[in-house]
Structure 1
Amino acid sequence: WRQQAENLARYMRKGSLIGVEGQIQTRSYDDPNGVRRFITEVICDSVHFLESKSARGDSAISDVNQYDIPSYNQKASEQPKDPFEDLKSDFDVSNDDLPF
């Protein structure tokens, strides 16, 4: 988490909305008693603050607007257009074709 953890501690509080980019990594080990233990870790590449100071309603926390905060609260009319809507391909997909 490096510097990101320090920024989170400084500018955010429990319940604040953040976005985390990275990987989830799992591993296992045998403890001294011979019991297999499993660990899930978040390998964080970047953190995005998803709400402004005014949205949090806490004037005691420093202003996060100095960071490049993406807008995740777009209205439905501002949503990007479907990139596949102009695709001129006829194909049929059944539930049996899906891997899940």
Structure 2
Amino acid sequence: MLNRVVLIGRLTADPTLRYTPSGVANCTYTLAVDRPFTKQGGERETDFLNIVTWRQLAETCANYLKKGRLTAVEGRVQVRNYENNEGKRVYVTEIVADNVRFLESNKNDSAGRQQPGTKNNNDPFSDDGKPIDIADEDLPF
């Protein structure tokens, strides 16, 4: 049997970090993933998938992911159910992620993110489009 999912999409809101009574970190967020085809009017349909991460990965996601950030998620599909207050059985389908990749650089405030209008001195390509002065002897070819 195989239960494996790979998704690339954008977060619809900032992640939510919680801890179980025993102290295990749990992070949840929703990923908006475009379908590979368009509707008759040329619009793309989007699926909104609930993502769950646990332990260290949960804390990392909570610290670095923000609304709108492009992210890759690898994990498995899980369906759980519970009985609500009205006595009805409710089914929840979610992706339990075991690998999350941040596909865009984090460019903002104190969490290592750059403020708009400021230069990142660590980025050698921060002068976008301007010529770079390199001597021929510095080239490896």
Give the TM-score of the pair, scaled to structure 2. Answer: 0.36
Give the TM-score of the pair, scaled to structure 1. Answer: 0.48
